[in-house]
């Protein structure tokens, strides 16, 4: 079982869609200094109201998480999760797999975990080298705080990948499922930072898993394990529940 998971992960790393996702994330790393140089007017208003101390690093993290990485996890997880189990069904391979000792539910888990692992790998291979790039581009850049915040955000990206795979299986069609997953993730991304703008709604927004991935924004001066571990564990729990739901749904799929 472990070997099968490893082989599937390696195969997923070599797929064309993974290269497309990697290109999107590399472009985001290279482009964010330009976005910081001339942020849109509405972004300037939000920053002026929220970041009263005008800390350049806090400004960077706001732009990086809200305008860049949150948008990335509205699209890249859908790309990576596209075709999980559905491609095998459409190419009439799923019927053969269903006759093997490996159940369809377990096969869904293997494929989804591989997609999540690829998402995590893309974060590692883009965010870690980005430290050197940002250090020379962003005034007051703090590498440790950046990596800690992005470690939490990576957990949200992993959840988003599992969520996209489960939604596609629930819809049952690759194109329609991708569209529904993209729309739902877009709504969740759009609401992720509402609690920061409207403190009265903060507790309510914690029900949104993607909000949990942004909680580092409120504690950039004191980003300790006590701040990071609870939302990380909550996101891992959300991911496990989501994958379990997908595995249950796929058992009912017509092969």
Residue 68's nearest CA partner among 122, 40, 38, 32 is 32
CA distances from 170 to 115, 165, 178, 242 (A): 17, 9, 11, 11
Residue 228: which residues within 8 A CB-CB, separation 6 or more? 148, 151, 152, 216
Query: Does residue 39 form part of some domain?
Result: yes
Angle at 151 between CA 154 and CA 229, to 5 degrees: 110
Is residue 120, in this structure, part of any structural domain at all? yes
What tens digit of pLDDT does each residue of 226-246 get? Answer: 899 999 999 999 999 999 999
Q: Which of 112, 92, 100 is nearest to 168 (CA)?
A: 112
The reply to whether 23 falls in a domain is yes
- Between CA 208 and CA 88 the distance in angstroms is 31
Q: Based on C-alpha coordinates, what's the Rg of the chain?
A: 19
- Tokens at residue 245, please? 């739901």
Is residue 172 in a domain?
A: yes
In a domain, 121, yes or no: yes
Nearest Cα to 162, choosing from 113, 107, 129? Answer: 113
Residue 236 lies in a domain: yes
Contact by Cβ (8 Å): 12, 18: yes
Q: Which domain holds residue 156?
A: 2-250
255 domain residue, yes or no? no
Q: Are 65 and 149 in contact (CB under 8 A)?
A: yes
Cα gap 160→94, rounded to integer Å: 25
Q: How far is CA 68 from the centre of its chain?
A: 12
Q: Is 194 part of any domain?
A: yes
Number of domains into which the chain is organized: 1
Tell how far CA 87 is from the center of its chain. Answer: 22
CA atoms of 91 and 73, how far apart (whole Å) = 28
Stated pTM of the model = 0.90
Per-residue pLDDT of the chain (255 residues; tens, 9 = 90+): 578 888 889 988 988 999 999 998 998 888 887 777 666 665 666 666 665 556 788 888 888 888 788 888 999 999 999 877 767 666 666 666 666 667 888 888 999 999 999 999 999 999 999 999 998 888 889 999 999 999 999 999 999 999 999 999 898 888 888 899 999 999 999 888 888 777 788 888 889 999 999 998 888 888 889 899 999 999 999 999 999 999 999 887 655
What is the tens place of the pLDDT at every residue in 95-149? Answer: 666 666 678 888 889 999 999 999 999 999 999 999 999 988 888 899 999 999 9
Beta strands in the chain (DSSP E): none
């Amino acid at each position: 079982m472990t070997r099968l998971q490893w082989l599937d992960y390696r195969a997923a790393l070599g797929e064309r869609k993974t290269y497309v996702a990697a290109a999107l994330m590399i472009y985001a790393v290279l482009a964010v200094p330009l976005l910081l140089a001339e942020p849109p007017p509405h972004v300037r208003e939000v920053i002026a109201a929220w970041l009263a101390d005008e800390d350049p690093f806090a400004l960077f993290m706001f732009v990086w998480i809200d305008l860049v990485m949150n948008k990335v996890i509205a699209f890249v997880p859908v790309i990576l999760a596209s075709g999980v189990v559905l491609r095998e069904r459409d190419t009439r391979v799923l019927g053969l797999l269903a006759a093997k000792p490996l159940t369809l539910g377990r096969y869904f888990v293997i494929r989804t975990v591989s997609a999540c692992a690829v998402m995590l790998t893309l974060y590692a291979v883009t965010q870690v080298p980005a430290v050197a790039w940002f250090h020379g581009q962003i005034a007051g850049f703090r590498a440790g705080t950046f990596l800690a915040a992005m470690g939490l955000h990576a957990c949200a990206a992993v959840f988003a990948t599992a969520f996209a795979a489960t939604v596609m299986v629930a819809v049952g069609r690759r194109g329609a499922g991708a569209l529904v997953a993209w729309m739902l993730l877009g709504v969740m991304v759009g609401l992720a930072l509402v609690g920061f703008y409207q403190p009265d709604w903060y507790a309510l927004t914690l029900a949104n898993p993607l909000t949990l991935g942004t909680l580092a924004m409120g504690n950039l001066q004191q980003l300790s394990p006590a701040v990071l571990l609870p939302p990380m564990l909550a996101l891992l729990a959300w991911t496990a529940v989501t994958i379990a739901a997908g595995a249950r749904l796929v058992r009912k799929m017509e092969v």
